[in-house]
């Protein structure tokens, strides 16, 4: 019974967190978001027309039912402290920046409450023979005194006093419910209990909404989760006799840890939910100062990192002042200059699921990104991802009214294959990942993605705005040149040797074609499996694993191959396919995602149904067997790739930057 009561109380706390999130947002929208503004009649009318506020009412009702059921099964000292979960969940729902202090506070709060509840369950007296309701009335007087104090204060102090008054009333109401559920009351006393409960609840709700209108949700919830259980537990000890003072003293340590964590959390959250933003400068003459934020950047090897580098260095070559904020190559934070670009590298950690990819922990990104943007004072921020660095950059820039361009290179399928989660979880997790991306990029001024197919995918997965398709671009001259001499025609693949690239299909197709050689440039988590597969298929002597190679060697590999193959099914554009086309090579690729934008069947290559190894082997054999066809298709690749010249890409982004830096940023400031 005690375990069930704890579970019900925890579920109720989840409902109350949802209520806080929905109703705080509704109240702040109705009061124009100005702290300390009175909750007048017009604001109340606006609130009553907000669907989210009614959804919050529904969650509050469900939470109240669960909480009352828990109180009928367990003492106040067990049930009431579990309300601390409301604050923890409120912090998460508000997408608070998880700094080290916030994470420490969350751990302290949860650990302290868990210890308090366990000790309470071991020491409290479940029986409640004769509650002294008269001595519990001090709570009403205390709430009234706090409400009066709120009238003579303003801003955050007003918010705090109103929240404390609310907490005392709610704790008093829980004590009344506990008494009515567990102890026989006279008819007159029962009427008093019901009347007081019916008066305390609406009074507490009104004070709570006034607190919402006066300050941040974290201050409101922090105060209520500290004082509500404290009031209820003290009534349970002093008026109901649920435990002795000696037993209460034994729980001081976990209680103090929980309270300290809550105080730290309530103090840190308001400062971190609104990161320090760069001051908006007067518009300068000349080209805009550009801050590019990337969660992956060279020496990372992937399409998004390569594009970010090409964009930054290309813009710098045109005279722009370009800054890049990205993960460091180690744990140290530093700034360097490369190819005319100022690169600010934030200390990073190695990921457990990929041998080369690194990421910035949230407490570093949430602190470093706002500070760097404040130093850079950019005219425009161009983020390449919605992860830790990109998320902090979007939040910081939009809060300051700095226009944001958001370019998406992400597909959830590119990450889910690395984890140990079963395949049946991939689809729901992918939906959640798309929803998160749409929420972050929905704050940007302009959203772009490399191809029309990728733009359609983004819009279909929840981004409620048009997306501009701008190719990542390719420096055609860098890859152009005469073919390298080779002893035998070979099929080339360039990219990460990871699950979504489906390189095993290329090896299986090669096994069906005698004397066909395969060159694999790149590395990844699947390399050992692919090497074992080549040995099992009996083609190990015809497959060469180059690993990561310098740029000069990569260009020679493109010029040396007879045909390029891309079997990946999660390509938003495929820069390596574009590089092969710029080298004048025919392409055989999977008929998936953005690859049909690059390959014209029968013109510059062929498309095959993903997963059909026989259909992959057939066009490979046809192209390899006919030198005249290879030459004609290679020339067609050169013609098609001309539309993706890097100069055109830079032109388009320059026009976007100039357009949005000249446009009034009213909408961004309102957000």
* 189-234: pLDDT as tens digits: 667 777 777 788 888 888 877 887 777 666 777 677 767 777 777 7
Q: Which of 165-169, 185-189, 594-598 has the highest mean pLDDT?
A: 594-598
Cα–Cα distance between 357 and 491 in angstroms, integer? 27
User: 89 vs 12, 259, 439, CA distance in Å?
Assistant: 12, 16, 19
Domain ranges, ordered by start, for the chain: 76-272, 290-469, 483-644
Select the more confidently predicted residue: 292 or 330: 292
- Averaged confidence pLDDT in the chain: 81
Cβ-based neighbours of 462, under 8 Å, separated by 6 or more: 434, 435, 437, 438, 439
For residue 423, the model assigns a pLDDT of 65
Three-class SS state of 605: strand
For residue 449, the model assigns a pLDDT of 93
Q: How confident is the model at residue 553 (pLDDT cuts 50, 70, 90)?
A: very high
The domain made up of 290-469 is a member of CATH 3.40.50.2000: yes
- Say what angle helices 217-238 and 187-214 make with each other, to 10 degrees: 160
CATH topology of domain 483-644: Rossmann fold (3.40.50)
For residue 585, the model assigns a pLDDT of 97
Mean pLDDT of 563-570: 94
Whether pLDDT at 669 is above 50: no
For residue 252, the model assigns a pLDDT of 74
User: 429 vs 130, 215, 413, CA distance in Å?
Assistant: 52, 34, 10
For residue 277, the model assigns a pLDDT of 43
Whether pLDDT at 420 is above 60: no
When mean pLDDT is compared across 169-183, 291-305, 394-408, the lowest value belongs to 169-183
Mean pLDDT of 2-31: 77
Structure tokens that stand for 604 in this block:
């510059």
Select the more confidently predicted residue: 335 or 138: 335
State what percent of residues in the chain have pLDDT above 90.
36
For residue 36, the model assigns a pLDDT of 41
State what percent of residues in the chain have pLDDT above 70.
76
Mean pLDDT of 460-479: 88
In total, the chain counts a number of residues equal to: 671
Q: How confident is the model at residue 124 (pLDDT cuts 50, 70, 90)?
A: low
pLDDT tens per residue, range 509-538: 999 998 899 999 998 889 999 999 999 999
Q: How confident is the model at residue 273 (pLDDT cuts 50, 70, 90)?
A: very low
pLDDT tens per residue, range 380-390: 999 999 889 99
Whether pLDDT at 239 is above 90: no
Asked whether the domain spanning 483-644 has the same topology as the one spanning 290-469, the reply is yes
For residue 308, the model assigns a pLDDT of 94
Whether pLDDT at 448 is above 90: yes
Q: How confident is the model at residue 664 (pLDDT cuts 50, 70, 90)?
A: very low
For residue 605, the model assigns a pLDDT of 96
Select the more confidently predicted residue: 256 or 390: 390
Select the more confidently predicted residue: 176 or 386: 386
Do the bridges between strand 290-293 and strand 380-383 make them parallel or antiparallel, or are there none, so unpaired? parallel
Q: Which residue, chain included where needed, has tokens 């019916």?
A: 198
For residue 222, the model assigns a pLDDT of 67
Nearest to 619, CA basis, from 491, 447, 467: 491
Q: How confident is the model at residue 566 (pLDDT cuts 50, 70, 90)?
A: very high
Cα–Cα distance between 330 and 347 in angstroms, integer? 6
Cβ-based neighbours of 544, under 8 Å, separated by 6 or more: 517, 518, 519, 520
Whether pLDDT at 290 is above 50: yes
Select the more confidently predicted residue: 142 or 345: 345
Q: 3-state SS of the chain: helix, strand, coil percent to 5?
A: 60, 10, 30
Residue 491 bridge partners (DSSP): 518, 563
Whether pLDDT at 107 is above 50: yes
Mean pLDDT of 142-152: 85
For residue 20, the model assigns a pLDDT of 75
Three-class SS state of 120: helix
Mean pLDDT of 644-655: 93
Q: Which of 36-45, 242-251, 476-485, 657-666 has the highest mean pLDDT?
A: 476-485
Nearest to 209, CA basis, from 358, 30, 384, 81: 30
Nearest to 391, CA basis, from 350, 362, 431, 433: 362
Select the more confidently predicted residue: 25 or 417: 25
């Amino acid at each position: 019974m005690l375990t069930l009561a704890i579970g019900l109380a925890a579920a109720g706390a989840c409902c109350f967190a949802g209520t806080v999130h929905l109703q705080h947002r509704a109240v702040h929208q109705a009061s124009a978001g100005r702290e300390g503004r009175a909750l007048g009649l017009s604001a109340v009318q606006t609130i009553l027309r907000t669907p989210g506020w009614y959804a919050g009412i529904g969650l509050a009702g469900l939470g109240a039912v669960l909480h009352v059921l828990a109180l009928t099964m367990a003492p106040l000292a067990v049930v009431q402290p579990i309300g601390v979960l409301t604050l923890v969940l409120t912090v998460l729902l508000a997408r608070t920046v998880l700094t080290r202090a916030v994470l420490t506070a969350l751990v302290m709060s949860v650990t302290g409450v868990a210890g308090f509840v366990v000790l309470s369950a071991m020491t409290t007296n479940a029986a409640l023979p004769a509650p002294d309701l008269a001595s519990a009335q001090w709570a009403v007087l205390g709430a009234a005194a706090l409400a009066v104090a709120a009238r003579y204060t303003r801003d955050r102090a007003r918010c705090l006093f109103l929240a404390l008054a609310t907490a005392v009333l709610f704790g008093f109401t829980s004590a009344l419910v506990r008494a009515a559920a567990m102890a026989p009351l006279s008819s007159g006393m029962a009427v008093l209990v019901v009347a007081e409960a019916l008066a305390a609840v609406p009074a507490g709700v009104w004070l709570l909404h006034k607190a919402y209108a006066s300050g941040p949700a974290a201050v409101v919830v922090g105060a209520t989760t500290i004082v509500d259980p404290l009031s209820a537990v003290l009534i349970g000890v002093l008026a109901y006799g649920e435990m002795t003072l000696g037993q209460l003293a034994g729980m001081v340590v976990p209680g103090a840890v929980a309270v300290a964590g809550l105080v730290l959390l309530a103090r840190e959250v308001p400062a971190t939910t609104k990161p320090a933003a760069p001051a908006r400068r007067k518009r300068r003459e000349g080209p805009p100062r550009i801050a590019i934020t990337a969660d992956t950047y060279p020496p990372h090897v992937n399409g998004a990192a390569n594009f970010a580098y090409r964009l930054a260095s290309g813009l710098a070559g045109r005279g722009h002042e370009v800054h890049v904020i990205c993960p460091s190559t180690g744990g140290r934070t530093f700034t360097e200059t490369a190819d005319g670009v100022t690169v600010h590298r934030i200390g990073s950690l190695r990921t457990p699921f990929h041998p080369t990819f690194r990421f910035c922990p949230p407490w570093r990104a949430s602190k470093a990104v706002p500070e760097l943007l404040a130093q850079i004072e950019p005219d425009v921020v161009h983020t390449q991802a919605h992860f830790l660095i990109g998320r902090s950059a979007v939040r910081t820039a939009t809060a300051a009214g700095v226009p944001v361009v958001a370019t998406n290179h992400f597909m959830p399928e590119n990450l889910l294959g690395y984890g140990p989660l079963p395949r049946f979880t991939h689809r729901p997790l992918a939906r959640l990942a798309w929803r998160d991306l749409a929420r972050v990029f929905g704050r940007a001024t302009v959203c772009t993605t490399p191809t029309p197919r990728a733009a359609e995918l983004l819009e279909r997965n929840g981004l409620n705005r048009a997306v501009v398709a701008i190719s990542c671009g390719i420096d055609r001259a860098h890859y152009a040149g005469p073919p390298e001499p080779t002893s035998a025609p070979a099929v080339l693949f360039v990219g990460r040797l990871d699950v979504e690239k489906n390189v095993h299909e290329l090896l299986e197709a090669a096994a069906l074609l005698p004397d066909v050689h395969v060159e694999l440039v790149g590395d990844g988590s699947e390399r050992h499996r692919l090497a074992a597969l080549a040995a099992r298929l009996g083609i190990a002597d015809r497959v060469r694993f180059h690993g990561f190679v310098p740029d000069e060697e990569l260009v020679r590999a493109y010029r040396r191959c007879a045909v390029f193959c891309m079997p990946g099914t999660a390509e938003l554009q495929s820069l390596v396919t574009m590089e092969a086309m710029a080298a004048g090579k025919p392409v055989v690729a999977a008929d998936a995602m953005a690859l049909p934008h690059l390959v014209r069947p029968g013109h510059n290559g062929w498309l095959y149904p993903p997963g059909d190894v026989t259909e992959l082997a057939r066009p490979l054999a046809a192209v390899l067997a006919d030198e005249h066809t290879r030459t004609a298709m290679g020339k067609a690749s050169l013609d098609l790739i001309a539309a993706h010249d890097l100069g055109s890409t830079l032109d388009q982004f320059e026009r976007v930057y100039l357009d949005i830096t000249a446009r009034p940023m009213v909408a961004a400031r309102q957000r």
